[in-house]
């Protein structure tokens, strides 16, 4: 079938892979992935031998037209990221948009992503929230933080381990040290942890702590719990 399938892959525990996702990956003509070595480990675990093609932020513009043409011509392709749902702080948007413009069918399967379990486990209201992804590292960082001062919804951020302390300090300075928050690490992996408290105390906690793995920060909105 001529279609682009968006396939979420485990963010930690390989058992989070759905039966449907495995079947689609087995039946696809080609699998587009960020890193063939990472996806190759997943394929080996589930005995998937579908051909792979590296597709990431450094080559997506160059490959975009040819991939859409091939799908329109009758191929079924699956797009995966190294972990989680493609398009959530990972390449995917440009390809999906190009397919939609060309009338190519796109189907996104439900499945793993880091911010949803982190949000639910935080203990902070999750009936209304906004996903901010990664804050700008330099240019635009202050402006982005200032734009969130009046945000009443719970906010969700991704961060790398080596920038966690700086980000907690910046959030504390911008939103207030007493703002309730939760730092979640290694979602669905063996050493998954959730550190809850106000932004000031969390900043102090991680100043003296060595952190590894992927980080999700959940922060209460203005006047939130």
| Helix pair angle (199-207, 164-175), 10° resolution | 160
Residue 58: the pLDDT is 77
Give a yes or no: residue 225 inside a domain: no
What is residue 90's predicted lDDT score, i.e. its pLDDT?
75
- 118, 184 contact by CB (below 8 A): yes
The arithmetic mean of pLDDT across residues 90-112, rounded, is: 92
Record the pTM. Answer: 0.90
How many beta carbons lie within 10 A of that of residue 28, not counting itself? Answer: 23
The tens digit of pLDDT for each residue in 147-184 reads 999 999 999 999 999 999 999 999 999 999 999 999 99
Do residues 80 and 158 share a domain? no
**In-domain check, residue 224:** no
Name the residue range of residue 193's domain: 115-219
Res 23 pLDDT > 90: yes
- % the chain with pLDDT above 90: 85
Based on the fold, state whether residues 29 and 62 are members of the same structural domain. Answer: yes
Task: List phi, psi (to 5°) of 185.
Answer: -130, 145
Give tens-digit pLDDT for 174-223: 999 999 999 999 999 988 999 999 999 999 999 988 888 889 999 999 98
Measured at the CA of 178, the angle between CA 176 and CA 179, to 5 degrees, comes to 70
Averaged over 24-29, what is the pLDDT? 97
Number of independent structural domains in the chain: 2
The CATH number linked to 38 is 3.40.1010.10
In angstroms, rounded to a whole number, what is the distance separating the alpha carbons of residues 80 and 170?
33
Domain shared by 39 and 130, yes or no? no
88 in a structural domain: yes
- Which one, of 44, 55, 56, 42, lies nearest residue 12 by Cα? 42
221 alpha-carbon distance from chain centroid: 21
Q: Which residues pair with 108 in a beta bridge?
A: 6
Q: Is residue 124 part of a domain?
A: yes
Tokens representing residue 210 in the block: 């060595």
End-of-domain residue from the set 108, 123, 152: 108
33 with 17, same domain: the answer is yes
């Amino acid at each position: 079938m001529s279609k682009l399938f968006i396939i979420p892959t485990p963010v930690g525990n390989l058992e989070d892979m759905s039966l449907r996702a495995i079947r689609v990956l087995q039946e696809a003509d080609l699998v587009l992935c960020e890193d063939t070595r990472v996806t190759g480990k997943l394929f080996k675990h589930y005995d998937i031998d579908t051909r792979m093609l590296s597709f990431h932020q450094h080559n997506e513009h160059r490959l975009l037209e040819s991939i859409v043409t091939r799908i329109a011509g009758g191929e079924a392709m699956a797009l995966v990221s190294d972990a989680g749902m493609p398009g959530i702080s990972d390449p995917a948007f440009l390809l999906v948009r190009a397919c939609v413009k060309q009338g190519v069918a796109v189907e996104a399967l439900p499945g793993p992503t880091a911010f949803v379990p982190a949000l639910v486990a935080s203990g902070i209201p999750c009936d209304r929230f906004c996903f901010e992804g990664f804050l700008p590292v330099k240019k635009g960082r202050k402006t982005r933080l200032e734009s969130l001062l009046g945000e009443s919804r719970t906010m969700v951020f991704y961060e790398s381990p080596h920038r966690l302390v700086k980000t907690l300090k910046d959030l504390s300075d911008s939103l207030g040290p007493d703002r309730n928050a939760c730092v979640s690490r290694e979602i669905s992996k063996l050493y998954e942890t959730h550190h809850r408290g106000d932004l000031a105390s969390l900043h102090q906690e991680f100043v003296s702590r060595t952190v590894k793995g992927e980080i999700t920060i959940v922060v209460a909105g203005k006047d939130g719990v």
